[in-house]
Structures are given as structure tokens and as C-alpha cells.
Amino acid sequence: MVAENVEFQVYKGILMHHSPVFKKILSRASTPNFASSASFPIPEVLVELDVLSGLPIVTVQDAARDWRYALRALMGDTIASRVTVCEMPKITSEQVFAFIRLGHKYQMESLRRTGLDYLKHYFTSDFGCYLSCHVYTNGDLMRDRFGNHDAIGVANLARLTGELSLLPTALLLCCRLDLRDLREHGLLYSDGQKEVLNKEDWLHCCQAAPEIVRTVASTAWEIFKTLPGECEHVFEGIGCMAEISNLRDSVVPKLIESLTRTMDPFLGRVDKQDDWKDATENMAPRCRQRLSEALRRRREAVWEMLPSLFNIEIEDWGLVEPIV
């Protein structure tokens, strides 16, 4: 196999086992009267016979980088065991993208499905998973697995494969980048190649970014509208109403200030701030619970509307209670 002038010596049985496309190509190349690749399932695949050995030389129009990752996975005992969340914590986004791209193009379903399942764990449609599994690890969105630029590749693959449930959280991450960067510099791969966001989703991000800012501001104020009402609890001379009022005046300006950097409509870090912790510790349990419930309800409401922010319709986009 030849990709970008890089030659791979591959046992053809592996490719034929995993890919119906390669099974058809290589079976036809083995026939006595083989002379042309014009009628192959993928036109840009060129097949020639080596003059000395008579073995097929398959030239593909894919990144050698992608085939290097894919072939390493295909050589293993099973594909799934190599890319599960638990067993492969150090797998790179570049590898996962390669599995999906080539798996989709050459109908290698086990490779494609494993890569997509891995992505769906992070770019999820499950709100409970979004909040509790990984999203705010180390104080940043998926910093340990996916950088902001990786979301460009995720969005493009979602369009390629039709897995649109990946799009809302991927595009939300894209909105944290400079919008010009999405189309000019994009995602840089290890071999120096780059990938930019498709034009359709770039336009969605341009339209959604200001709306996300408004949503965060609205979310912040809505939380503090739900005041506890009459409460006789007083701590060091300060009642619950006063604590919530002070908390609002302290927290909301900080959120507004950080909007363009975080682009986080769910206010994922607000209840981790010292101001929030100090204020709620001094409240009556009933008032503290009502404030936490107000935050939860507002987060869920924003989650429901997330696809619409990017003008995307997704079936079964619902709410799941956060895992405690």
C-alpha cells in the first residue's frame, strides 16, 4: 500500500477481513485477467501489479499518518480493546480521527464504530456525563483528552459520518477559538498538515458565539432570581437573603468578564469558586438547597437548547440526571 509516497507492506488478508471495499479490490486484482482499477468501489484508489512479484500495489489518496495508526490497530487481536476509555487513556485525538476517517471510507465498521464510541464519551449528548465524567477536569474543558482545536476535527467527522449528536458540544468548544482561526489555521496534525472547520459549521459558530455570551449572562442572573424568601437564619449577623445578594454581586461580574474565554453556558465552575463556597456554607440548608436547585435547573434548560444555538436538529437530545 502506498499513501503519500510512504510504502506499507501489509498482509492483504487483514485488509480483506476488515474492509469489504478492500476485499473487492484485492479479490479482483488477483484474477488472471486483471488490467484496470476503473471500476473499483473507490475511484481514487489505484491498483497495479508489481512486475517482479506479481503482488498488487494499492495507492490510496489518504494521509500516511492515518494509515499508520489504522494498520497498527488492525494488526492487534481486537480493535475495541485498543481504544476503550479505560484501557487506552493516552490515545490521541489524531489516532481516533484516523480510525473514523478510514473506517468510514473503506467500510471498516469495527474501526469506525470504536472511534465514534470513544468520541461520544467526550462529545456526548448525555448531560449527566457532560457534567460529571470529564468536562471540568483540571479546570478546563476536556484538557486531558481533547484540546479546543481538536473540536474542528470532531465537527468535520460528525458531518462526514452523519453522527450529528457530536456537533453541539464540538461546536461549543470551537467557539472558544478565534473564529478566523477556525478557517485559517485550524487543527495542526503531527505531520504538518492542517484541517479547517467546514464552512457550514463555521457560519453556525459565528452566529452562535454572541448568543452564547448572552446565554451565560442570562443564566447567571436567572440563578439569583430564585431567592429563598423569608428565612430567619442568620450567621454572624448576615441572613440568607443578604448572602445571596452579596454572592450575586461578587460572582456575576467575574462570569461576565470571563465569557469570551470560557464560552461555558453551563457555568461549570461557578459552584467551585471560593465566593460561592463561603456564602453557601453560611446559609441555612433549605436556602443552600434552593440555590443549588436553581443552578441545576438553569443548566438543564440551556442544555436542551444547545443544538438550536447552532441551528442543528438532533433527535433524542435529552436530559440525564448528573451522576453523583
Give the pLDDT score at 289.
82
Is the pLDDT at 252 greater than 80, yes or no?
A: no
Rounded Cα distance, 279 and 286, in Å: 14
Is the pLDDT at 95 greater than 90, yes or no?
A: yes
Beta carbons within 8 Å of 157's beta carbon, 6+ residues apart: 97, 100, 101, 119, 163, 166
Is the pLDDT at 224 greater than 60, yes or no?
A: yes
Q: Choose the most confident range, by mean pLDDT, from 63-72, 87-96, 140-149, 267-276.
A: 63-72
Is the pLDDT at 186 greater than 60, yes or no?
A: yes
Contact call for residues 194 and 187 (beta carbons, < 8 A): yes
Q: Report the 10 Å Cβ neighbour count for 324.
A: 5
Q: What average pLDDT is seen over the chain?
A: 80
Give the pLDDT score at 44.
77
DSSP 161-229: HT-GGGHHHHHHHHTTS-HHHHHTT-EEPTTS-EE---HHHHHHHHHHHHHHHHHHHHHHHHHHHS---
Is the pLDDT at 116 greater than 90, yes or no?
A: yes
Long-range contacts of the stretch 18-21 (C-beta < 8 A, 24+): 18/74, 18/108, 18/110, 18/111, 19/106, 19/107, 19/108, 20/107, 21/105, 21/106, 21/107
Is the pLDDT at 308 greater than 90, yes or no?
A: yes
Rounded Cα distance, 80 and 103, in Å: 13
Helix axis angle for 240-257 and 199-225, nearest 10°, is 160
Higher pLDDT, 324 or 250: 250
Is the pLDDT at 40 greater than 90, yes or no?
A: no
Q: Per-residue pLDDT averaged across 97-125, rounded? A: 92
Distance of CA 2 to the CA centre of its chain: 31
In 27-168, beta strands by DSSP E? 46-49, 56-60
Residues in the chain: 324
Burial of residue 35 (number of CB atoms within 10 Å: 0-12, 13-18, 19+): exposed
Give the pLDDT score at 132.
65
Give the pLDDT score at 160.
96
* Domain limits, the chain: 1-61, 63-197, 209-309
Distance of CA 177 to the CA centre of its chain: 14
Is the pLDDT at 187 greater than 90, yes or no?
A: yes
Give the pLDDT score at 198.
95
The amino acid present at 223, given as its one-letter code, is I
Give the pLDDT score at 207.
93
Is the pLDDT at 38 greater than 60, yes or no?
A: no
Among all chains, which residue has been given the C-alpha cell 470532531?
A: 154
Rounded Cα distance, 90 and 96, in Å: 11
User: Quick check: helix, strand or coil at residue 71?
Assistant: helix
Give the pLDDT score at 237.
46
Phi and psi, residue 258, nearest 5°: -95, 5
Give the pLDDT score at 139.
42
Q: How confident is the model at residue 87 (pLDDT cuts 50, 70, 90)?
A: very low
Beta carbons within 8 Å of 64's beta carbon, 6+ residues apart: 3, 4, 5, 6, 191
DSSP 256: H
Give the pLDDT score at 322.
45
Q: Choose the most confident range, by mean pLDDT, from 42-51, 67-76, 95-104, 226-235.
A: 95-104
Scored b (16 or more CB within 10 A) or e, 277-314 reads eebbebbbeebbebbeebbeebbbebbeebbebbebeb
Contact call for residues 58 and 40 (beta carbons, < 8 A): no
Q: Per-residue pLDDT averaged across 16-25, rounded? A: 91
DSSP 128: H
Is the pLDDT at 39 greater than 70, yes or no?
A: no
Contact call for residues 16 and 26 (beta carbons, < 8 A): yes
